[in-house]
A and B are shown apart, each in its own frame.
Chain A
Amino acid sequence: GENVEQHPSTLSVQEGDSAVIKCTYSDSASNYFPWYKQELGKGPQLIIDIRSNVGEKKDQRIAVTLNKTAKHFSLHITETQPEDSAVYFCAASKGGSYIPTFGRGTSLIVHP
């Protein structure tokens, strides 16, 4: 089955800095890669996703890149703000069921 590795487990940055979270996946058939933000005591919220026919996608301060050959994808957050502090999960899924396999999460802390 699919295996998703996520690094780092904790990321601490100063407000205004950029943050990068990286994930690798094992199943070359995976073709949909969502990213979720989970605040304490709440459910995950989809923040951005990318499909395998695209190499990069941006939405304001967040962007996701995908390298299919290397089987890794990354989340980039620029100009971080304290409200970006949360746990971020990457996931990978493939056609048919599109049931995602999640990474273990990255706790992002943005210091004001």
Chain B
Amino acid sequence: GAVVSQHPSRVICKSGTSVKIECRSLDFQATTMFWYRQFPKQSLMLMATSNEGSKATYEQGVEKDKFLINHASLTLSTLTVTSAHPEDSSFYICSAREGTSGTSYEQYFGPGTRLTVT
């Protein structure tokens, strides 16, 4: 149980284009989903937290107009990198949590998406 999938696993796009990454909870309903960015040999950097049906909460320094997050259902969240540039190249990882924050602690991570902007 507690499986989170991401699609695509790898994507290469040209500078200036937009890329959408999907995150799905396969066997549970995810009230809250998180999006992280990870640079090589570094820790996970939280970008934003999204609750189903409401606007995402972005961490300081993360451009919400560049990284669009939608959490339209209890099993799907999407991250769209708009007008991508080479510096956006990174490993993007989502995670999902079941239930409300008062009843569930565990986060389950997706396998990650490697984005390369050329």
Measuring CB to CB, which residues of chain A are less than 8 angstroms from any residue of chain B?
Answer: 32, 34, 36, 41-46, 49, 51, 89, 93, 95-100, 102-105, 107
Contact = CB atoms under 8 A, between A and B. Distances in A.
Dominant secondary structure at the A interface: loop
B interface bracket (residues with beta carbon within 8 Å of A): 20 to 34
19 contacts: A34-B105, A34-B106, A36-B109, A42-B111, A43-B4, A43-B93, A43-B109, A43-B110, A43-B111, A46-B106, A46-B109, A89-B43, A89-B44, A93-B105, A96-B101, A99-B46, A100-B107, A103-B43, A104-B43
A34 to B, nearest CB: 7
Contacts of A46: 106-109
B102 A44 contact: no
Contacts of B42: 104-105
A44 B109 contact: yes
A106 to B, nearest CB: 11
A96 B32 CA distance: 13
A66 B41 CA distance: 26
B44 A102 contact: yes
B43 A45 contact: no
Interface in B5-58: 6, 34, 41-44, 46, 49
Given A102-B44, A103-B43, A104-B42, A95 B109 contact: no
Contact of B43 (A97, A99, A105): A105
A97 B101 contact: yes
A87 to B, nearest CB: 8
A81 to B, nearest CB: 22
